[in-house]
Amino acid sequence: MPVNVISAGIATTIQDLGRPGYYHLGIPMGGAMDRLALRTANMLVGNDEGAAALEAVFVGPELEFTEDAIVAVTGAELPPKLDGQIQPTWTGFAVKAGQTLSFDFLKNGARAYIAISGGIDTPPALGSRSTYAIGALGGVEGRGIQPGDTLPLGAQPSSASAGKSVPDEMRRTPGKPAELRVLPGLYWHRITEAAQKGFFEDTWKVANEADRMGYRFQGGRVLEFVEREPPFGAGADPSNITDACYPYGSVQVPSGTEPIVLHRDAVSGGGYFMIGTVISADMDLIGQLQPHTPTRFIKVDMDTALAARKERAEALDAIRQTLT
């Protein structure tokens, strides 16, 4: 028995943990931008952590249920309403057949994850239900949800029960300013020492161009390049390179002006130099940044990156232990 989409929000898509393995063909891993929030939402409703759920950006959808289920909303603080009654976030609550789930205004963060017990059971593409709209893969016929869609659910898990909740201190929210840790590298040597220093000193702001492909930042000083003779095939602009692969989280700065951090739906390559990469531990955080959020990039080394990764894994384990 499906869930009927009454209204879709702004850019609500079906996401799971993505489809790794096809990046060499220009098909990105995709999946939830805030993976910890997706996993947690699924745990709260008794699903496998990687089950498909809805990723709503800024504005929630309106959904009509045709069967009983457990629902949990995590990630951004986007309060759910059941037949108009506000429900807690980061908490599993019961929904009865015939009830309507809608959302109040966004309080903080950018992306809410709406997990439904049973998981959304649209057909997978290349092993994932994640929506990759550019390649028309996953989701509902390769796109985000729209009014009139019916979302099929999988079988109700035996462990589904309402009332599980994640304590406040286990929810991660961006600081003010938000801090993204970056390991310098890639084409870091292409900018001057002063520019290297300035990039980490300046406070940037999230630009309006901020989506699943990447987040653009504005407001810092223009990066100054080390002079060079353009290599054959690279192009004349000092920020050009011979078209190469882009790591997830890599920070490219076309013409040295506005840094773009590539995210889960990254373009797999191109001709712009990159000055480093946001470490894996901070990728989830990017998905919760609203436009205009002041942001600092923090320079770290590999040991710090690995320690932060371990710390994130432990935080996820702590949530698992609380909920199961």
Contact residues: another protein, CB under 8 A? 20-21, 23-27, 125, 134-137, 142, 183, 185-186, 188, 231-236, 240-245, 247-250, 267-271, 274, 276-280, 302, 305-306, 309, 313
Least distance in angstroms from the C-beta of 268 to another protein: 4
**DSSP character at residue 323:** H
**Which of 186/253 has CB closer to another protein?**
186
CB of 150 to another protein, least distance (A): 20
**Judged by CB, which is closer to another protein: 24, or 176?**
24
Q: Which is nearer to another protein, 96 or 320 (CB)?
A: 320
Cα 276 to Cα 250: distance, rounded to the nearest angstrom: 6
Helix, strand or coil, per DSSP, at residue 25: helix
Residue 135 or 154 having the CB closest to another protein? 135
Nearer Cβ to another protein (28/60): 28
Query: What DSSP designation does 23 have?
Result: G
Bond before 177 cis per omega within 30 degrees: yes
In the complex, minimum distance from the CB of residue 66 to another protein, in angstroms, rounded to a whole number: 28
**Least separation in angstroms between CB 16 and another protein:** 17
Specify the DSSP class assigned to residue 177.
S
Cβ proximity of 115 and 14 under 8 Å: no
**CB 155 to another protein: min, Å:** 27
Side-chain half-sphere of 65: how many Cα atoms within 13 Å? 21
Q: How far is CA 50 from CA 18, 22, 99, 133, 261, in A?
A: 9, 19, 26, 20, 24
Shortest approach of another protein to residue 253 CB, angstroms? 15
For the bound state, the minimum distance from the C-beta of residue 80 to another protein, rounded and expressed in Å, comes to 32
The least distance separating another protein from the CB of residue 35, rounded to whole angstroms, comes to 13
The Cα 180–Cα 188 span in angstroms is 17
Q: Find residue 116's DSSP bridge partners.
A: 71
| Strands lying side by side in the sheet with 93-95 | 13-15, 53-57, 108-116, 69-77, 93-95
Given a contact cutoff of 8 angstroms between Cβ atoms, the answer to whether 173 and 166 are in contact is: no
Instruction: Output the six-digit token pair for 106.
Output: 């966004």
Residue 53 or 279: the one with the smaller Cβ distance to another protein is 279
For another protein, which is the closer residue by CB, 201 or 301?
A: 301
- From residue 106, alpha-carbon distances to 11, 58, 225, 311 in Å are 14, 6, 40, 28
Which lies closer to another protein via its Cβ, residue 157 or residue 200? 200
Q: What is the CA radius of gyration of the chain?
A: 20
